Amino acid sequence: MANAAPIAIVIHGGAGMIVRGKMTAEFERAYREKLEESVQAGYRILQDGRGSTEAVVAAVEVMEDSELFNAGKGSVLTHIGSVEMDASIMEGKFLNAGAIAGVTHIKNPIRLAMAVMEHSPHVMLIGEGAEVFSIERGFEQFDNSYFRTERRREQLLRIQAADGDTALSEDMTDVIDSDIDDKKLGTVGAVAIDNKGNIAAATSTGGMSNKKYGRVGDSPIIGAGTYADNKTCGISATGHGEYFIRTAVAYDICARVSYKGLSLQAAADEVVLDRLKGLRADGGIVGIDSNANVVFSFNSEGMYRASIDASGGLMIKIFAD
């Protein structure tokens, strides 16, 4: 262990219009506690000398199991009121990756993405095929109602009411006014580097509220929402997925580190604060470089985020300041 590389982990729970004045003290406390639980779950694995892949999966699972985040239980609802989830994971050592999209019965989609990476010849499986694969791998199947929460139902009704959409014929008068921001760009993710210098990144989401037609965003797309390369960095993104796909955000940041010789922070800021903002695309990223430097960059009002850096320092933040 004398030659062990420094360890670090960083997580996010989504970015968007997260304004201090709109969040109750109770909600803020709940988010901070869950962010700390998540980052500590991953860090303990790194401290034990285990790998970065296991660490990011553990961190993401904590958020998937919480109703606070748009991933796993608590995912946003589609146009017809169901839940469809996406996730991806990538290892920086050999550029191995796995992803799933449009699954409806998997408690922890990030673990199924890892199974695709480790136990299939493919990178991405979607919909019914991904669910068949999950059954073959012994994953417990959960009824879709497990993932649906009252908070997300009210969110969907507010969005559909604002759009004049009557897809769900319910009385919406009691849910039109709320301090829960419907525009929050909900995704969860984690990036870690272990004591062998291996970087892993993972991202999981329920997608976009009121989405139609089997819409898939950037979260399960390698190079857009997730990327890892031991030579440069690992990235997990959260934001307006269509733009993150078009601009290959996660890969673009790592490429700028490699080709332009930029620091990870400078590369991330070029993409998030300049390129994406120029396209009016909201969101952000968390990342770690090959020297275990932790980075955040976002152009929205806030981003749920936490990290434990190479010195062991814990950071938890929600708002832009």
Active-site residue, 187 included: yes
Express each pLDDT in 259-312 by its tens digit.
Answer: 999 999 999 999 999 999 999 999 999 999 999 999 999 999 999 999 999 999
Domain-located, residue 189: yes
Q: What residues are paired with 298 via a beta bridge?
A: 284
Domain-located, residue 3: no
Tally of domains in the chain:
1
Report whether 199 contacts 228 (CB < 8 A): yes
Site of tokens 């991330």: 268
Domain-located, residue 242: yes
Per-residue pLDDT for the chain (321 aa), expressed as one digit of tens each? 457 899 999 999 999 878 788 889 999 999 999 999 999 999 999 999 999 999 999 999 999 999 999 999 999 999 999 999 999 999 999 999 999 999 999 999 999 999 999 999 999 999 999 999 999 999 999 999 999 999 999 999 998 888 776 544 333 333 333 434 544 468 999 999 999 999 999 999 999 999 999 999 999 999 999 999 999 999 999 999 999 999 999 999 999 999 999 999 999 999 999 999 999 999 999 999 999 999 999 999 999 999 999 999 999 999 997
Domain-located, residue 187: yes
What is the model's pLDDT at position 173?
30
- How far is Cα 278 from Cα 74, in angstroms, rounded to an integer? 32
- How far is Cα 22 from Cα 222, in angstroms, rounded to an integer? 34
Q: What residues are paired with 296 via a beta bridge?
A: 286
**From the CB of residue 151, how many other CB atoms can be counted at a distance below 10 Å?**
15
- Residue 201 tokens, joined: 């990144």
Instruction: Kindly give, in sequence order, each residue whose CB lies less than 8 Å from that of residue 67, ignoring residues fewer than 6 positions away.
Output: 73, 74, 149, 151
Give the length of the chain: 321
CA distances from 26 to 23, 30, 41 (A): 8, 6, 23
What CATH number is attached to the domain comprising 152?
A: 3.60.20.30
Instruction: Kindly give, in sequence order, each residue whose CB lies less than 8 Å from that of residue 152, ignoring residues fewer than 6 positions away.
Output: 74, 75, 76, 77, 209
Instruction: Give me the catalytic one of 104, 187, 226, 238.
Output: 187
Domain-located, residue 2: no
What is the model's pLDDT at position 2?
53
Closest by CA to 62, choosing from 4, 9, 126, is 9
CA distances from 143 to 112, 148, 231 (A): 16, 10, 41
Element (H, E) at 266: helix 264-269
Domain-located, residue 237: yes
- How does strand 124-126 pair with strand 97-103? parallel
Domain-located, residue 1: no
What is the model's pLDDT at position 169?
35
**pTM of the predicted model, to two decimals?**
0.94
Burial category of 19 from C-beta neighbours within 10 Å (exposed 0-12, middle 13-18, buried 19 and up): middle
Domain-located, residue 184: yes
What domain range is 70 assigned to?
8-319
